[in-house]
């Protein structure tokens, strides 16, 4: 997959393609519909399909001092974009200059002059330009004026997925539909904010069902206090971003090291039995023996085991860790390679 960053000039083959635009935090199942639409349209038009994303995300730019729970850092987004079949990603620097552009200026400078897009795919709630004054109607009108097609994807729900459109005229606008509702009357749609709430509650299974893949974190292993080693359960430790609002407790995880997968038990919390310090991720990796300090590792969260708690002694903590590891092994043995959307 081609990656064009900042002010790099896009290769000619990237121009006159189909692009989906958004933050794509999580690259969840709603986002995947946008990607599928871009892929379908590009295949019909005989061109490349890609996405436009922003770094940092606009919320991070406008509130730099406020921790933000980001589901997928850029590298994880790029990995998922490639898995889901995109040809290229345009990574725009979200700086003051870009933030100051009006909607019309963004369309002119990015979509027309830089990319010469043939078709654009956005979500029903897409807004852009200074003050977020640009809407899907703004984009659709610009498409009619400048000769590029626009597809607006309705809200996506676990209950009912959107059917592909039939035919292709090279220019098409799909009207916005109301979000689907569940039997209680509440709107139920895939969203990054709802996934964050799931993770904040420790409900990694519901998060995975909305994501369409396990929630993953990647980081560099740092040195710890070696308490786990002393009690027979050595851990690989990763310091997560301060905005990571994951529920504290024990998780069943799968760990990726140099493209090799291992089962493991992960703890995320402040270690109240020991020092009640900053939250840290500690992972006990089953059937692995080696030095991981300074190496990168990825952790997929499969299931939640129990909340964090303080123990009266190291002996009691060790006994609980032994029970946790037995439960984790059972949970991982029962889990599939991918989330079960029907469970």
Query: Which CATH number do you get for residue 40?
Result: 3.40.50.620
Structural domain contains residue 178:
no
Instruction: Write the CA distances from 86 to 1, 2, 34, 89, 221, integer angstroms.
Output: 7, 9, 11, 8, 31
Residue 187: band (very low, low, confident or very high) from pLDDT cuts 50, 70, 90: low
The answer on 311 and 226 residing in a single domain is yes
The answer on 117 and 23 residing in a single domain is yes
The answer on 10 and 147 residing in a single domain is yes
Q: What is the mean pLDDT of the chain?
A: 89
Residue 227: band (very low, low, confident or very high) from pLDDT cuts 50, 70, 90: confident
Render 109-174 in DSSP notation, one character per residue: IIIIIIT--SEEEEETT--BSGGG-B-HHHHHHHHHHHT-EEEEEPP--SS-PPPPPP---S---P
Q: What is the pLDDT of residue 188?
A: 73
Q: What is the pLDDT of residue 277?
A: 84
Q: Which domain holds residue 268?
A: 214-334
pTM: predicted TM-score of the whole model, two decimal places? 0.89
Q: What is the pLDDT of residue 100?
A: 95
Q: Each residue of 250-306: pLDDT tens digit? A: 999 999 999 999 999 999 999 998 888 889 999 999 999 888 999 999 999 999 999
Does pLDDT of 331 surpass 90?
A: yes
310 close to 266: Cβ distance less than 8 angstroms: no
The answer on 9 and 117 residing in a single domain is yes
Q: What is the pLDDT of residue 233?
A: 85
Q: What is the pLDDT of residue 343?
A: 53
208 close to 339: Cβ distance less than 8 angstroms: yes
The answer on 40 and 117 residing in a single domain is yes
Number of domains in the chain: 2
Distance CA 157, CA 159 (A): 5
Q: What is the pLDDT of residue 34?
A: 97
| Rounded (10°) angle between helices 192-200 and 204-211 | 160
Structural domain contains residue 198:
no
Residue 338 is classified by DSSP as: S
Structural domain contains residue 197:
no
The residue among 126, 153, 180 that closes a domain is: 153
CATH number at residue 258: 2.40.30.30
Instruction: Look at 23-27, 61-65, 76-80, 203-207 and tell me which has the smallest mean pLDDT.
Output: 61-65
The answer on 32 and 149 residing in a single domain is yes
Helix, strand, or coil (residue 47): coil
What is the average per-residue pLDDT within 77-82? 97
The residue among 153, 177, 201 that closes a domain is: 153
Give the pair of three-digit tokens for residue 46.
């005989």
Instruction: Write the CA distances from 190 to 50, 212, 278, integer angstroms.
Output: 21, 10, 31
Q: What is the pLDDT of residue 242?
A: 87
Does pLDDT of 56 surpass 50?
A: yes
Render 99-114 in DSSP notation, one character per residue: HT--HHHHIIIIIIII
Q: What is the pLDDT of residue 168?
A: 37
The answer on 227 and 148 residing in a single domain is no
b/e per residue 217-243 (b: at least 16 CB within 10 A): bebebeebeebbeeeebbbbbbeeeee
Question: What does residue 15 show for φ and ψ, rounded to 5 degrees?
Answer: -70, 160
Structural domain contains residue 223:
yes
Q: Each residue of 145-164: pLDDT tens digit? A: 999 999 999 999 876 444 33
The answer on 147 and 12 residing in a single domain is yes
The answer on 148 and 8 residing in a single domain is yes
The answer on 301 and 218 residing in a single domain is yes
Instruction: Look at 16-20, 21-25, 47-51, 229-233 and tell me which has the smallest mean pLDDT.
Output: 229-233
Question: What does residue 241 show for φ and ψ, rounded to 5 degrees?
Answer: -60, 140
Structural domain contains residue 195:
no
Asked, as a colleague might, if the bond just before 56 is cis with ω within 30 of 0, I would say yes
Nearest CA to 79 out of 259, 253, 205, 208 is that of 259
Q: Each residue of 113-140: pLDDT tens digit? A: 999 999 999 999 999 999 999 999 999 9
Residue 174: band (very low, low, confident or very high) from pLDDT cuts 50, 70, 90: very low
Beta-carbon contacts of 314 under 8 Å, excluding residues fewer than 6 positions away, are 231, 273
Structural domain contains residue 218:
yes
Structural domain contains residue 209:
no
Does pLDDT of 3 surpass 90?
A: yes
Does pLDDT of 224 surpass 80?
A: no
Q: What is the pLDDT of residue 274?
A: 87
Structural domain contains residue 221:
yes
Residue 50: band (very low, low, confident or very high) from pLDDT cuts 50, 70, 90: very high
The residue among 119, 134, 153 that closes a domain is: 153
């Amino acid at each position: 997959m081609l990656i064009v960053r900042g002010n790099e000039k896009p290769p000619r083959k990237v121009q006159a393609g189909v692009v989906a635009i958004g933050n794509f935090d999580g690259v969840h199942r709603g986002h995947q519909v946008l990607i599928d639409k871009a892929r379908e349209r590009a295949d019909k038009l005989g061109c490349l399909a890609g996405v436009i994303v922003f770094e940092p995300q606009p919320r991070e730019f406008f509130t730099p001092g406020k921790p933000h729970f980001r589901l997928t850092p850029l590298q994880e987004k790029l990995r998922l974009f490639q898995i889901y079949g995109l040809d290229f990603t345009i990574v725009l620097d979200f700086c003051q200059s870009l933030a100051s552009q009006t909607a019309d200026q963004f369309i002119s400078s990015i979509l027309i002059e830089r990319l010469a897009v043939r078709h654009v795919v956005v979500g029903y709630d897409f807004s852009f330009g200074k003050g977020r004054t640009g809407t899907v109607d703004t984009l659709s009108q610009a498409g009619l004026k400048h000769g590029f097609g626009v597809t607006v994807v309705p809200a996506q729900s676990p209950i009912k997925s959107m059917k592909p459109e039939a035919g292709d005229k090279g220019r098409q606008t799909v009207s916005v539909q109301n979000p689907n509702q569940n039997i209680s009357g509440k709107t139920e749609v895939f969203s990054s904010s709802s996934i964050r709430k799931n993770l904040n509650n420790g409900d990694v299974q519901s998060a995975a069902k909305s994501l369409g893949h396990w929630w993953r974190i990647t980081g560099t292993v740092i040195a710890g206090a070696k308490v786990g080693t002393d009690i027979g359960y050595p851990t690989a430790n990763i310091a997560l971003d301060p905005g990571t609002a994951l529920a504290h407790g024990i998780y069943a995880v799968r760990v990726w090291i140099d493209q090799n997968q291992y089962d493991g038990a992960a703890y995320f919390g402040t270690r109240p039995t020991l020092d009640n310090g900053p939250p840290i991720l500690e992972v006990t990796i089953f059937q692995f023996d080696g030095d991981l300090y300074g190496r990168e590792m990825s952790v997929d969260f499969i299931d939640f085991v129990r909340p964090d708690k303080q123990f009266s002694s190291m002996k009691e903590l060790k006994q609980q860790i032994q029970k946790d590891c037995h439960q984790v092994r059972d949970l991982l043995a029962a889990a599939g390679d991918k989330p079960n959307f029907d469970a």
